[in-house]
Amino acid sequence: MPASGTLRNDWSREEVRALFDLPFADLMFHAQRIHRENFDPREVQISTLLSIKTGGCPEDCAYCPQSAKFDAGVKAEKLMALDAVLEEARAAKAGGASRFCMGAAWREPKARDMEKVCAMIEGVKAMGLETCVTLGMLTEPQTAQLKSAGLDYYNHNLDTSPEFYGEIITTRTYQERLDTLENVRNAGINVCCGGIVGMGEGREDRVGMIVAFATLPAHPESVPINLLVRVAGTPLEHQAALDPFEFIRTIAVARITMPASVVRLSAGREDMSEETQALCFLAGANSIFCGPKLLTTPNPGRDRDMALLEKLGMTPMA
């Protein structure tokens, strides 16, 4: 086992596989020890999501209800107006969120989109919220522009292992994702990079996905682990449900390999028992999306989440 507190980005597949293979109690014990050395286990960071540009996306990500290639009943909309975005951000802040994440169903933003999104970032930041956006692929000048607008985090997921990736997305390469992540990192913006489990990948793909995050030149500051939301009309609609213990193991291995990163128990909580969510927190997850909607799909509402946190003696991170 690695010395605790040490950040390593030379994780091998064998090491990560061995973590996944540990007896559950040993894996949880190890994850909790690392978690407690780096964080207060009672605290959970709260982010709120808003889809600022919904649907009509040219990409073919098999999980996504916003792709124009499938009919998941999501209506394509234009980029939201600044005022409406700021109103949502104010409500998120009042609801206890510390970060406001704005998502757009784009392959990449155009110049005029960039100006509008930068105004949104400036407005949200002025309210005292941390800002995060996810807009697809970015060039170096675009990352610089976002940085000057005051962007704190950029979300761009690798989604799965390099080997399984081609089964899920054909319109954008793994390397293009890595290039965007490098541009974001070089601009001095915090990186939020995670993936999805439960898409029909095997244990070895979950190993490969964690290795991909943990061997980036620097660990992402934020690592969202999404459980596939099986949306009718997408190719993954009938995917078999993943065993919750496999999801919890993925969280624990993310925590152990990236000790200082905030690991987000991201999409999929609507279909998860409170007990599974509690085990995810014990495994080292310390962030959630709060609010009744993710981008287009339902999420437990604020009241249910606050009741769960209360039962567990957990509190929102300032």
Residue 288 contact partner, candidates ligand SF4, ligand DTB, ligand SAM, none, CB within 5 to 8 A by sort of partner: none
Q: Which of 50, 294, 308, 309 binds ligand DTB (CB under 6 A)?
A: 294
134 — phi, psi (to 5°)?
Answer: -135, 110
Q: Give the nearer residue to ligand DTB in terms of CB position, either 32 or 287.
A: 287
Strands (DSSP E) contained in 54-110 are: 99-104
Look-up of token digits 């990409």: 59
Of the candidate spans 26-34, 135-143, 221-229, 246-254, the one that interacts with ligand DTB by CB under 6 A turns out to be 221-229
Q: Are 84 and 77 in contact (CB under 8 A)?
A: no
Residue among 61, 118, 193, 290 flagged as catalytic: 61
For residue 252, which amino acid is it?
A
Smallest distance, ligand DTB to C-beta of residue 233, A: 12
Contacts 24+ apart (CB under 8 A), 1-10: 1/30, 4/33, 4/34, 4/37, 4/259, 5/37, 5/38, 5/259, 6/259, 7/219, 7/258, 7/259, 7/260, 8/214, 8/257, 9/214, 9/215, 9/216, 9/217, 9/218, 9/219, 10/215
In 3D space, the residue among 213, 240, 241 whose CA is nearest the CA of residue 225 turns out to be 213
Mark whether 57 is an active-site residue. Answer: yes
Confirm whether 132 is a catalytic residue.
yes
Per the listing, tokens 């606050």 go with 306
Could you tell me whether strands 222-227 and 262-265 are parallel, antiparallel, or unpaired per DSSP bridges?
parallel
Q: Is 196 in the site for ligand SF4 (CB under 6 A)?
A: no
* Beta carbon of residue 101, minimum distance to ligand DTB (angstroms, whole number): 6
Q: Which stretch binds ligand DTB (CB under 6 A): 111-119, 138-146, 204-212, 293-301?
A: 293-301
61 catalytically annotated: yes
Burial of 318 (0-12, 13-18, 19+ CB in 10 A): exposed
Among 52, 138, 229, 282, binds ligand DTB (CB under 6 A): 229
Binding letters toward ligand SF4, positions 101-140, x by CB under 6 A: ----x------------------------------x----
Tokens of 229: 């939301």
Q: How many CB atoms lie within 10 A of CB 82?
A: 15
Q: Of 32, 142, 143, 226, which lies in the binding site for ligand DTB, with binding defined by CB under 6 A?
A: 226
The stretch near ligand DTB (CB under 6 A) out of 92-100, 137-145, 204-212, 223-231 is 223-231
CB 155 within 8 A of CB 133: yes
Size of the site for ligand DTB (CB under 6 A): 16
244 binds, among ligand DTB, ligand SAM, ligand SF4, none (CB under 5 to 8 A by kind): none
The residues annotated with a catalytic role in the active site are 57, 61, 64, 101, 132, 192, 264
Binding site for ligand DTB (CB under 6 A): 49, 65, 103, 134, 155, 157, 194, 224, 226, 229, 266-267, 294-297
